[in-house]
Amino acid sequence: MELPYRFICIEGNIGAGKTTLCRKLADLYHAELILEEFTDNPFLENFYASPERYALQVELFFLSERYKQLNSFPINGNLLNTPFISDYIFIKSLLFASHNLSGDELGLFRRLFDIVAPTLPQPEIIFYIHRKPIELLDLIQKRNRNFELGIQQDYLKGIEESYFQYFNKITRIPVVIIDSKGLDFENNPEDFEYIIDIITQPHSKKVTYLTKEDHPLFG
């Protein structure tokens, strides 16, 4: 089945598996990949070690890199009708900054965000890979990136709440939250087929929460 959307964003908390899913979908549908190069951020490791000191630097770098990347893809002028799949939405910058910054620093960040955001292409739909913070911690430990090993459950919970608050305000595009507890779409073909079935369906402009039990093949 073909993708019914030309610009799809796969989102999720840290460690949810969004980039892995994007790669698999892009291979299947010959889509253009827009992947965040988070390891290029020179402030990231220092941020996890000393968040208050490096939060502004890390967020401004992410903002500039995401803007540059999204601005470089011909999404709006896509003459070949090629699908695009991204592992982030641009407002992720503001969601994380609102969690990590405060006061004048957050005010400065918001001013810059408001300048650049309206110029960028917007996704047609967002799929959010939802995993509970305790499950995310286990996945983060397994992938063993040194700078991430100190992430705490409360931090992941705060990021999750920021996403959900934002989703509840969206009315112009569909948001599909996929409960991914126990799913291994990287290695289990059945789980990947389940994700494909969700992504290739049309969805209404509201927030939809799906579990595997909702699916006719598994319920």
Least confidently predicted of 75-84, 121-130, 180-189:
75-84
Residue 219 has a pLDDT of 46
User: 118 is in which domain, residue-wise?
Assistant: 7-214
In a domain, 1, yes or no: no
Q: What's the number of domains the chain is made of? A: 1
Residue 72 placed within a domain:
yes
Burial class (CB in 10 A: 0-12, 13-18, 19+), 6: middle
pTM: 0.92
State the pLDDT at residue 78.
61
Q: Are 120 and 72 in contact (CB under 8 A)?
A: no
Q: What is the pLDDT of residue 77?
A: 62
> Per the domain annotation, does 119 fall within a domain?
yes
Position 17 scores a pLDDT of 94
pLDDT above 70 covers a percentage of the chain that reads 95
Domain assignment present for 164: yes
Token pair for residue 195? 């994700």
How much is the pLDDT for 56? 97
Q: What does the pLDDT read at residue 215?
A: 60
In-domain check, residue 2: no
Tens-digit pLDDT profile for residues 18-71: 999 999 999 999 999 999 987 788 999 899 889 899 999 999 999 999 999 999
86, 6 Cβ separation under 8 angstroms? no
Residue 219 lies in a domain: no
What was the pLDDT predicted at 27? 96
Please tell me the least confidently modeled range out of 73-87, 139-153, 155-169, 195-209: 73-87
**Closest among 166, 178, 196, 61 to 130, alpha carbons compared:** 178
Does the residue 85 lie in any domain?
yes
* Identified catalytic residue from 27, 40, 87, 154: 87
Higher pLDDT, 69 or 219: 69
Measured CA to CA, the distance from residue 163 to residue 218 in angstroms comes to 28
199 found inside a domain: yes
Give the span between the Cα atoms of 109 and 123, in whole angstroms: 22
Share of the chain above pLDDT 90, in %: 75
Say whether 27 is catalytic.
no
Q: What is the pLDDT of residue 75?
A: 74
CATH code, domain carrying 185: 3.40.50.300
Highest mean pLDDT among 30-39, 75-84, 157-166: 157-166
Q: Is the pLDDT of residue 209 over 90?
A: yes
36 has which bridge partners? none
Locate tokens 């917007």: which residue?
122
Q: Is the pLDDT of residue 157 over 70?
A: yes
| Average of per-residue pLDDT values in the chain | 91
- Listed residue (49, 13, 219, 48) closest to 135, CA to CA: 13
Q: How many residues does the chain have?
A: 219
Q: Is the pLDDT of residue 168 over 80?
A: yes
